[in-house]
Amino acid sequence: MKRFLHLLAYLFIVHLSALLVTTLFRLALFASSHHQLSAEALSRPSLSGLALLHGVWFDNVIGCYILLPALVAVVACALCDYSGKALFRSCTVYFSVLYGCVFAISAADIPYFGYFFRHLNSGIFEWFGYAGTTVGMITGERSYWLYIGLFLLVLAGFVYWVRQVGKRFRLLTARIAAAPTLLERGGQALAGACLIGLCLFGIRGRTGYNPIKVSAAYFCHDAFLNQLGVSPTFNLLTSVLDDLRPENKQLHLMDEQEALRNAQAYLHRSGEASVSPLAIHRAAHRDTTGIAARRPNVVLIMMESMSASFMQRFGQRQRLTPFLDSLYTRSLSFSRFYSAGIHTNHGLYATHYSFPAMMKRNLMKGTVIPHYSGLPTVLKQHGYHTLFFMTHEGQYDNMNAFFRTNGFDEVYSQEDYPREKVVNSFGVQDDFLYQYALPVLNRQAASGQPFFATLLSISNHPPYVIPPYFHPTTSQPETQIVEYADWAVRQFFAEARKQPWFANTIFVLEGDHGKLVGDAECELPQSYNHIPLMIYAPEIIAPEEKECFAGQIDIQPTLLGLLDLDYTQNNFGIDLLREQRPCIFYTADNLIAARDATKLFLYNPETGQEFCYRIAPDGKLTHTTPDKSFLPLKTYSFSMLQSAEYLVKHGETTASAT
């Protein structure tokens, strides 16, 4: 029996050691993001302590998953009176590999959380298809080296410790020569069964009908502390398992037919039976003296991670975007404009085809590429030549295949640029992209055919590369790169003004999505989706700032309305110059958001949690209990997203008859 107790003590020490290490990683996360604490959390340190205890609770669930097979093996070996070297060596390898994965996830989660204000989830596997780009992003960003080093140091220390503990207990068990009696074997079997049952309870995490879920970590009004208690490994594992469930392949927010009826009412459409329930024909006004008569070119510039919070117009104290701030006052601008999601593919998809982001899914990927009606397809039908410029590889996010299938005549990517201009895993820098695009646009303009071009920048994304010829005024890489991105756009406009086609071109500038700027005021920081939109054409469109709620899904119908083109609209956008939304909705991986001037509603479909906030005139948020006043926001966002799911599922995403 004594040998059996030594084996159990060995497992117990390894288990506690692993909990200690994951707690240290959580403390590192707390140290790196503690500035996100609310005033209430700062005044009540006990809340932070409770969040850390929640973390141990969730870490223990993962630890019990890992412990269970080892415990079963040890009990079986004890009953067979075996405690030799092979058992301890196998346990050392087993614990080193599995806890190595846990520690790697914990280390990677720290910078990920700092960037996205959420833990690692199944969405990261979208990056695995681009191994070279992903590795380059991780190794190229120096701020990540700290966490890579931390992981390697912790893993080496843990493996050494487990080996030493194993050697110690192997020697102790070897000194016990007497074989267990039949009664002792019975006691071992009973104790082993009880411990295995206790381990299974640890995996379940709680009493009650349902096992532990992420929502169990949410205990206060501080968005950071609520997430601090969640194990990154637990979050990633449950996210993957949720994705594998058939019912989670698609959104199930409400009844499809009810959603479609609501969407028709919100968008003032009755649908076209041969196209979709939301299709509507937009007839041209045929104004021979208006914009349409000029057949202007359209240049869309999508700036990586360009949150409105970087601009002084929206409260930024540092002078990071002097050109964009200046251009904003000279454009048709929108102060309440939001990205569809928090990833580039979401922004591209929503901007060009006016479909909302469907949580963390990338609807541009897939072997069978769906067809959509959008800006490039409609403009192409009206005689425009369409071009797309990106900095990275054409296969990234399936852009080359998707855009060529859906209206773009030409796609320029890293494969087209000189190799010496590629500065990191995301390709070339912004100013080179703009320099490369100009002569291509000049050649197209010389043909006499109007063009539509999208230029997608990337520099404001880790790893940050500041070119030696640019001299920023701030000291941090995160702000220096914003300065550079603004400068690069300025250089493009300076050169474009010299071209004969400039005067007859509509320039559209927006962020592909936002970025965490400053402190997170809620579970989904507004800076992540609040982005600038500027429509600049000094000889065509009068400058004006509009305060209506708008989103990337509205760019297509607004531009086509400006151009006065005849087409069938089959999407979720509105013409911002002729229509108005009661509110705006958007998503961020596992959260749905809807907001109006006074309220913000957030919903997590995976856990069923709702988060409601009142918005003060100065923009500050106050957490409140959900009540019926938030129901219109919930119904609006659910209806739009469920209707989008319906159209995607049934292949009703084009403007042609089905």
- Mind listing the pLDDT tens digit for each residue in 386-409? 999 999 999 888 899 899 999 999
Side-chain-facing half-sphere of 191: CA atoms under 13 Å: 16
Report residue 162 as tokens.
């487990």
Phi, psi values for residue 592, rounded to 5°: -110, 135
Residue in the block written with tokens 């501080």: 222
> Which uninterrupted H or E stretch holds 165?
helix 145-174
pLDDT bracket for residue 490 (50, 70, 90): very high
DSSP letter at 606 equals T
For residue 565, pLDDT beyond 60: yes
CATH for 269-279+296-649? Answer: 3.40.720.10
For residue 70, pLDDT beyond 70: yes
Confirm if 523 and 591 have CB atoms less than 8 A apart: yes
Q: Which residues contact 203 (CB under 8 A, 6 or more apart)?
A: 61, 64, 65, 68, 211
Confirm if 199 and 68 have CB atoms less than 8 A apart: yes
Nearest to 214 by CA among 235, 243, 245, 244: 235
Q: What is the mean pLDDT of residues 538-558?
A: 96
Nearest to 372 by CA among 601, 573, 535, 576: 573
The confidence score (pLDDT) of residue 4 equals 81
pLDDT bracket for residue 80 (50, 70, 90): confident
Cβ count near 393 (within 10 Å): 19
- Mind listing the pLDDT tens digit for each residue in 211-255? 888 888 888 888 899 999 999 999 999 888 877 776 567 899 999
Cβ count near 568 (within 10 Å): 18
- Mind listing the pLDDT tens digit for each residue in 157-193? 999 999 999 999 888 877 775 666 777 778 888 988 9
pLDDT bracket for residue 288 (50, 70, 90): low
The confidence score (pLDDT) of residue 134 equals 72
The confidence score (pLDDT) of residue 25 equals 97
Identify residue 236 by its one-letter amino acid code.
L
E strands, 463-573, are: 505-511, 533-536, 544-551, 567-569
Confirm if 432 and 470 have CB atoms less than 8 A apart: no
Cβ count near 40 (within 10 Å): 13
E strands, 223-331, are: 280-282, 297-303
- Write the DSSP string, 434-490: HHHHHHHHHHHHHTT--EEEEEE--SSSSSP---TT---SSSSHHHHHHHHHHHHHH
DSSP letter at 130 equals G
Q: What is the mean pLDDT of residues 196-201?
A: 95
pLDDT bracket for residue 355 (50, 70, 90): very high
| Three-class SS state of 337 | strand
Pairing state of beta strands 567-569 and 544-551?
unpaired
Cβ count near 146 (within 10 Å): 14
Confirm if 284 and 566 have CB atoms less than 8 A apart: yes
The sign of the torsion formed by the CA atoms of 61, 63, 69, 73 equals negative
| Three-class SS state of 623 | strand
Nearest to 325 by CA among 307, 313, 333: 313
Q: Cβ-count burial of 239 within 10 angstroms (0-12 exposed, 13-18 middle, 19+ buried)?
A: buried
- Mind listing the pLDDT tens digit for each residue in 17-48? 999 999 999 999 999 999 999 888 999 999 99
The confidence score (pLDDT) of residue 66 equals 97
The confidence score (pLDDT) of residue 578 equals 95
Q: What is the mean pLDDT of residues 135-162?
A: 89
Pairing state of beta strands 544-551 and 332-338?
parallel
Phi, psi values for residue 333, rounded to 5°: -120, 160
Q: What is the mean pLDDT of residues 506-526?
A: 95
For residue 261, pLDDT beyond 80: yes
Q: Delimit the domains of the chain by residue range.
A: 2-247, 269-279+296-649
Phi, psi values for residue 596, rounded to 5°: -125, -160
- Mind listing the pLDDT tens digit for each residue in 88-118? 999 999 999 999 999 999 999 999 999 889 8
| Three-class SS state of 47 | helix
Distances in whole angstroms, Cα of residue 493 to Cα of each of 46, 257, 468, 497: 53, 47, 21, 6
E strands, 233-349, are: 280-282, 297-303, 332-338
